[in-house]
Structure 1
Amino acid sequence: MPTLKYLPQYPPALVQQAQTLFDSGELGPLLRDKYPDRHDVQTDKALYQFVSELKQRYLKHAPLPAKVLYDNQQHPLKGTLGTNTAISRVQGGRLKSKNEIRIASLFRELPLPFLQMIAVHELAHLKVRDHDKAFYQLCQHMLPNYHQLEFDLRLWLNWREHHAD
């Protein structure tokens, strides 16, 4: 019986429910029914546009990231699905700062709600660096079902790891 390793911080009763669905083979079909469609955001250019639109809608005064791209180096086993980095350089006598968002390439094949969830997560880091209460409130503001999507993504990652087609 495989353990659901992407759910360690969730309550044991919830993890047990998920484990039961996983063991019975119902988890995959349940997730496919809940999230049936893939999305068309397949290129780095399309991803940049997608993230820019979310940023403009919810974080008008935050700086626009210089780059937004899919990254093959981001992987859940390494503990990352996306990153938001700030790069600072001295140009002349001034300090210039650029933000860069990288999202794991596996999000190309996932349903749109999961891509929205990770994009919102990385955009929230433009305003709040730490994963604290204010950070998750901002994520919830931008995507009201953020917590459910994060949980479902973790379920999907567990299912995918053991039932990759």
Structure 2
Amino acid sequence: MIFTPTEIDGVVVVELKKIEDERGSFARAFCKKEFDDQGLKSDFVQGNTAVSHRKGTLRGMHYQQAPYAEAKLVRCIRGAVFDVAIDLRPASATYCQWVGVELTAENNRLLYVPEGFAHGYQALADNTELFYLVSQFYTPQAEKGVRWNDPRFDIAWPISDDILLSDKDRAWPDFNP
């Protein structure tokens, strides 16, 4: 695995090293030791899948409050997404900044999102599927979110018209620390 830090401390792009031969390919998608060596949380307790049927579907921006804050390791296994993490750690030098990374079924990238970040993504293709690991169990009473188009963050979503949102994601408030 190749670990590449982004401009926001703690958010890391993880690229899989594919080994290919006439049969196909093999790649390690997760290794606790390698994550530990990088100082990344590696105690994942749950794996989730999410399918977005329509290009333009936007899910986010979600997080769980402490003590249920979660780290995520996100991979696109079909289609493509623009995956976004917003730094909500008040003591961070990059507080309220965001980073976006394109994840596709072909580019062998994963995005590691640490605790203290809001996370969301937009499908760039029909029938896009994500698989992601989380470090905490889903805890409904700890669930929070911020509005996907909050002007404080000014996220440059690749698809700005014909966005499909859930009622829940549409109703998240602007960020108010």
Give the greater-gyration-radius structure (CA).
1
The reply to whether TM is greater than 0.5 is: no
What TM-score, normalized to structure 1? 0.26
What TM-score, normalized to structure 2? 0.25
Structure number with greater CO (CA < 8 Å, separation at least 6) is: 2
Judging by fraction of residues, say which structure has more strand.
2
